[in-house]
Amino acid sequence: MLTIALPKGRIASETIEIFKEVFKKDFDFADRKLILQSEDFRFLLVRNQDVPTYVYHQAADIGVVGLDVLEEQGLDLVRVLDLKIGRCRVCIGIKESEELDLNKPSLKVATKSVNIARNFFAQRAIPVEIIKLYGSIELAPLVGLADMIVDIVETGETMKQNGLKPALTILESSAYLVANKNSFYSKKDEILSLYESLSTAVESRN
Amino acid sequence: MIYEHEIPKDARLYFGSGAKLKRDIEKSASEVFYRYGYEEIVTPLFSYHQHGAVEDTRELVRVSDEENKEIALRADSTIDVIKIITKRLGNTTDHKRWFYIQPVFRYPTKEFYQIGAELLGSSKTDEVLGLALEIFEILSLKPVLQISNIKIPKLLQERYQVPLSVLKSVNVEYLSKEVGGWVESLLYLKSPEQITDLCEEVPSDISDELLKIKELCDSVSYEKIVVAPLFYAKMRYYEDLFFRFFESNLELCLGGEYMADSMEAAGFALYTDNIIEILQKG
């Protein structure tokens, strides 16, 4: 029996679709239920950013989570498979009228992804002040809170509607299947067998 | 504001049945050690030599001596045990089997109780593994025993161009699709019985290391063994055969072979706090 943490929303639905295809069974969460028990799997519906925590603490053996969340949190997990769903980019966004200039003596960067942003600028020895925000990141450059933002871009439409543009891609992200290290070693056969089945399904879908 | 009853974060407090359990575990372990000729050593809490004891020196709890030289609270017992036995007691004892029961400390206020054994002058990992198994048996615990060899991931990185980041995160997809071949077989390897067949498939430098794993597995009679040849963890001193006991998400013991001042040695540390947590859960 494997417990699988799924992030609420579109990635959960798409992952469930892949499981349906692979195992020829219906895996549907009943209304508002957070646990779905089937013969071989127990699915948990959790918030996107909480998936690594559930897996790291072994409340779930495996989980599905965006690479951007994995990189941001940096927890020690087994990286099993790129499911090639939930694709997005982590980008630097600036005002549409401006050009990206990383040579200014001081830069203010607003972001939810503090660690990704800090690592990116630190690797390039660019001194920045990181301003942590929890939402509406696009607002920051418009009201003078920051010179630029580091944010997730799917189509670029949100930035565009707010007078911003993606200027540089920091990370290409998609949803990954990850595993707890102890679960991986103690349930290796189950997890590798699931990897094989899902890998074949992902390849045929792409 | 600090309350009158407050204790620092991650500090340990045992009382009543928890403290008794801790004492019972330590008593059981010490009886096993004495039976096999191990002598106890208690090393100073303050140490000049802890820089090699942790991955990141920021983990050290630092203070100063009377000349303002840096001292750290003991962050790991092995390094001081070895230094004291080889450098300080070297002329007065030729005893090679030692055990310790003492806590280690990490910044800012983390405490970990440990029980450890060190066998100097010999890389008999099977002997120290046997001791650990006997202690677990007395405690009625049957954790998973993982046996690895840190030389295998090192060889894969140095001679076979497998990126370290892939080994660190056990990137299954990369190991299976990008590398493939015998490296993929190593990924799937689980039981010691599979090693002999696999040795025909892998290069000789890898098969030599795999056979060491098999030899160690064969030296013990234990059901819950998992062979993990690709397991990589940056160890402070274990660079060869390596074993790890875990139960659910808790690590209960780490041990293996290492070099101590150019002397072969083998040892392990039991994580008393995690053992107590498992035993209290029943």
- Asked, colleague to colleague, whether A2-86+174-205 and A88-173 share their fold, the answer is yes
What is the pLDDT averaged over residues B111-121?
A: 95
Q: Which residues of A7-43 are buried (b: 16+ CB within 10 A; e: fewer)?
A: beeebbebbbebbebbbeeebebeeeeeebeeeebeb
Distance CA A34, CA B237 (A): 44
Return the beta strands (E) in B182-232 as ranges: 225-227
More confident residue, B235 or B11: B11
CB interface of A with B, residues 153-182, below 8 Å? 180-182
- CA Rg value for chain A: 19
Look up residue A59 and give its amino acid: A
Q: Render pLDDT for A76-122 as a digit per residue (tens, 0 to 9).
A: 999 999 999 999 999 999 999 999 999 888 899 999 999 999 999 99
Nearest residue in A to B225, CA atom: A186
Q: Of A69, A104, A65, A108, whose CA–CA distance to A83 is shortest?
A: A65
Chain B residues inside the 8 Å CB shell of A57: 249
- CATH 3.40.190.10, applies to A88-173: yes
- Facing A199 at nearest CB: one of B170, B173, B249: B173
- CATH 3.40.190.10, applies to A2-86+174-205: yes
Virtual torsion, Cα B189, B193, B197, B198, nearest 10 deg? 20
Two tokens, residue A110? 């607003």
Q: Render pLDDT for A38-71 as a digit per residue (tens, 0 to 9).
A: 888 999 999 999 999 999 999 999 999 999 999 9
Nearest residue in A to B230, CA atom: A185
Q: Render pLDDT for B164-173 as a digit per residue (tens, 0 to 9).
A: 999 999 999 9
Whether A151 and A91 have beta carbons less than 8 Å apart is answered as: yes
- CATH 3.40.50.880, applies to B1-140+251-282: no
Mean pLDDT, chain A, whole residue set: 93
A80/B144 Cβ within 8 A:
no
Q: Render pLDDT for B205-250 as a digit per residue (tens, 0 to 9).
A: 999 999 999 999 999 999 999 999 999 876 677 889 999 999 999 9
Chain B contact present for A44, CB below 8 A: no
Whether B116 and B85 have beta carbons less than 8 Å apart is answered as: no
DSSP A154: S
Compute CA distances B182 → B196, B204, B212, whole Å.
Answer: 14, 12, 18
> Any residues with CB less than 8 A from the CB of B4 and at least 6 apart, and which?
none
Look up residue A168 and give its amino acid: L
Residue with tokens 């469930």: A16
Domain boundaries, chain A: 2-86+174-205, 88-173
A77/B169 Cβ within 8 A:
yes
> Any residues with CB less than 8 A from the CB of B269 and at least 6 apart, and which?
B77, B78, B114, B115, B116, B253, B254, B255
Q: Of B145, B132, B139, B120, whose CA–CA distance to B33 is shortest?
A: B132
ipTM of the predicted structure? 0.90
A58/B173 Cβ within 8 A:
no
Distance CA B45, CA B77 (A): 9
Q: Where in chain B is the domain with CATH 3.30.930.10?
A: 1-140+251-282
